[in-house]
Amino acid sequence: MQGKKVILDQLNALLVYELAARDQYFIHSRMLDEWGFSKAAARIAHEMEDETGHADALIRRILMLSGTPDMKPAALNVGHDVISIFENDLAVELSVVKHLREVMALAEKEKDYVTRDLLLPMLKDTEEDHAHWLEQQLRLIKLLGEQNYLQSAAG
């Protein structure tokens, strides 16, 4: 099935950010694990798996619409400590939320309801799971203090 170029272009733009989120979560999970923060590392690894699933769904949709997936991720913002890791990951998630909403609105306008429906669970996952968890962690760091939080995040 031939998809509209405008939809394919936007799906590819979204894919670039999903791939970057996946890769950023990947390196961050390994960094956290190496530093001994196994609880935080496990959660970030879970997020990496979710992002891989999002990318997979986008790739499959692009291919079904006779497009070619753009497999070059956007630039990563690798953190240097736990706080910057969470802040950088939250920034990626908020950017993805914005882009998902824009692509969903475009899909609606172009009457591509299947694409819109494909993106809705990604938006829910990104807002309610990924971004929300990161916001919670940053809030906990402020409430508990960095050292207390880090102690709780260690394995």
DSSP states along 87-148? HHHHHHHHHHHHHHHHHHHHHHHTT-HHHHHHHHHHHHHIIIIIIHHHHHHHHHHHHH-HHH
Mean pLDDT taken over the chain = 95
For residue 155, pLDDT over 80 is answered with no
Question: For the domain that residue 68 is a member of, what is the CATH number?
Answer: 1.20.1260.10
The residue segments making up the domain with residue 112 are 5-153
Distance of CA 72 to the CA centre of its chain: 15
Position 26 scores a pLDDT of: 98
For residue 154, pLDDT over 90 is answered with no
Position 153 scores a pLDDT of: 81
Contacts of 98 (CB under 8 A, 6+ apart): none
pTM of the model: 0.92
Give 92-112 pLDDT, tens digit per residue: 999 999 999 999 999 999 999
Domain count, the chain: 1
Separation of alpha carbons 53 and 102, rounded Å: 20
Say if residues 29 and 45 touch (Cβ distance below 8 Å): yes
CA distances from 91 to 63, 65, 83, 95 (A): 29, 30, 12, 6
| pLDDT range class, residue 83, cuts 50, 70, 90 | very high
| pLDDT range class, residue 50, cuts 50, 70, 90 | very high
